Amino acid sequence: MLGRGVKIRKLLLNIKIGILIFVFQLPLCLLAQQHFVGSFDLVSEQTYKNGNVRHDTLNYSFEVDKTIMTIRARGNQPDMKMIFDFADSTIKTEFVMRGKPGGYTLPMNLEYWPGMNRSASKEHTDIDKSLESREIEGIDVYKVVASSNDYDAELWVTDKYNLSMLQVLSYQSVGKGKSKKELELFEKFKLYNLPLIMKLESKNGKADVMIRLINFSEVD
């Protein structure tokens, strides 16, 4: 009986060690699936039914071992940089407020980064490319239309970059209990490619949204 008990304890210990190895290696696995190295700006415009318009700009920089997202602040607020470091599995937030540097560090896991798994998503989508095609900033794109219960969407999509909109949006879902509504909306469209322009027309009185990806720079 004693020998059997020791074997069970060893088995449980091996299972725990295996789980820990999986948890710590997960961010590195995500990194291995991320092939795009370069940068671009994401510019969004939200037009509300009362006529108010909100503009936001995010800069994305995809490096070999990390992704950096910089939130360009409006008004007197400071820009905020979020550094997703896959090598040490951390998310560092940095900013300067009134001349003093500030920030904090979060562990890179699903609790603090609910959209983490989507950062490695690059599924293939078979899309009907017969609607219309053109060039945007010298990049070949084709028109795609999609719909959900909340929005009708018009997208101008490229296959040039090994990157999907789900990957891009995943970096905006950082924080304990952070909403994944943008990710969930795009999942409903069942599109895993990269749109350079995305127009969302609300069906229920919310703001209409225009998103543009511009200023691409790719590292060979």
With respect to residue 89, please indicate whether it lies within any of the assigned structural domains: yes
With respect to residue 79, please indicate whether it lies within any of the assigned structural domains: yes
What's the pLDDT at 178?
81
Q: Is residue 185 within a helix (H) or strand (E), and if so which, with residue range? A: helix 181-189
Q: What is the DSSP letter of 118?
A: G
Question: In total, how many domains does the chain have?
Answer: 1
**51: containing domain:** 33-218
With respect to residue 26, please indicate whether it lies within any of the assigned structural domains: no
Distance CA 167, CA 178 (A): 16
Handedness of CA 162, 168, 169, 170 (dihedral sign): positive
From the DSSP assignment, how many helices (H) and strands (E) are in the chain?
3, 11
| pLDDT tens, N- to C-terminus, the chain (220 residues) | 445 544 444 444 443 434 333 344 455 555 544 578 999 999 999 999 899 999 999 999 999 889 999 998 777 778 899 999 999 999 999 998 888 999 999 999 999 999 898 887 666 666 777 779 999 989 999 999 988 889 999 999 998 988 888 899 999 989 887 878 888 888 888 777 899 999 999 999 999 999 999 999 988 6
Distance CA 161, CA 36 (A): 7
Distance CA 128, CA 111 (A): 37
User: What's this model's pTM, rounded to 2 decimal places?
Assistant: 0.80
The CATH number for 181's domain is: 2.50.20
What's the pLDDT at 176?
82
Residue 5: strand, helix, or coil: helix
Using DSSP bridges, classify how beta strands 100-107 and 133-136 pair: parallel, antiparallel or unpaired: unpaired
